[in-house]
Amino acid sequence: MTNAHMRKKEPDKVRRSLLDRTAKIAVDQGPSAITIQAVAEAAGVTKGGLLHHFASKQALIEAVFTDLLQQFGDEIDRYMAKDREPVGRFTRAYVRAAFADHKLGMRSPWAALSVTMVADPGMRRLWSDWLDERLEAHRETDGTAQMEIVRLAADGVWMADMMGQDRASLRDLSALEPQLLALASPGAAG
């Protein structure tokens, strides 16, 4: 009997490792470097072991993207839990989470995989479904045009930052965060 047959099966840990290794490859080498072989080697499993958890490379990438959405949502929830003012709470948390990712730059798994989202309809659908669900849940407190403008501005800052990563000198966008937070605060002019 080989060691593989004697080894304790821990599918949740293997799945987590596959997701984490895929995200790391995306950050370190770019999304195009994600292959079944590269991820399997990085996670210390066989290609068959990886394919047991994810039927294809696309399924693996979508699972990583879904996992990142969950992490982003969890981060938003943590910011919301600290914010006592209900009006604009989701939008302020969204801005804070977007700027936290901005501080990681291209080292962020989100940034690395977002490039894929632009070209892949399945990934765009995952993002749209996630965002639509969140917006519906917070429609009463964050459904105004002003809150939409703030969120779109945060998306724009994030995208501009990501697209400018190859510039010789990076722009300091940190002063924009407090401005956007002020626009999403109760009493801000609408």
CATH number at residue 102: 1.10.357.10
Whole-number pLDDT of residue 140: 96
Q: Report phi then psi at 48, rounded to 5.
A: -65, -40
For residue 78, is it within any domain?
A: yes
Per the domain annotation, does 13 fall within a domain?
Answer: yes
Report yes or no on 188 lying in a domain: no
93 contacts: CB under 8 Å, gap ≥ 6: 75, 76, 77, 78, 79, 80, 83
Domain span at 174:
3-183
- C-alpha atoms less than 13 angstroms from C-alpha of 88 in its C-beta half-sphere: 21
Which token pair is 51?
């394919």
Distances from the Cα of 1 to the Cα of 7, 20, 48, 49, angstroms: 11, 30, 19, 18
Burial group, residue 35, by CB count within 10 angstroms (0-12, 13-18, 19+): middle
- Per the domain annotation, does 91 fall within a domain? yes
- Residue 189 domain flag: no
**Would residue 50 count as lying in a domain?**
yes
pLDDT score recorded for residue 6:
47
pLDDT truncated to tens, each residue of the chain (190 aa)? 445 554 567 878 889 999 889 888 887 887 788 899 999 999 999 999 899 999 999 899 889 888 888 988 999 999 999 999 999 999 999 999 988 865 555 456 666 667 677 778 888 899 999 999 999 999 999 999 999 999 999 988 877 777 665 555 566 777 889 999 999 998 775 5
Q: Please count the structural domains in the chain.
A: 1
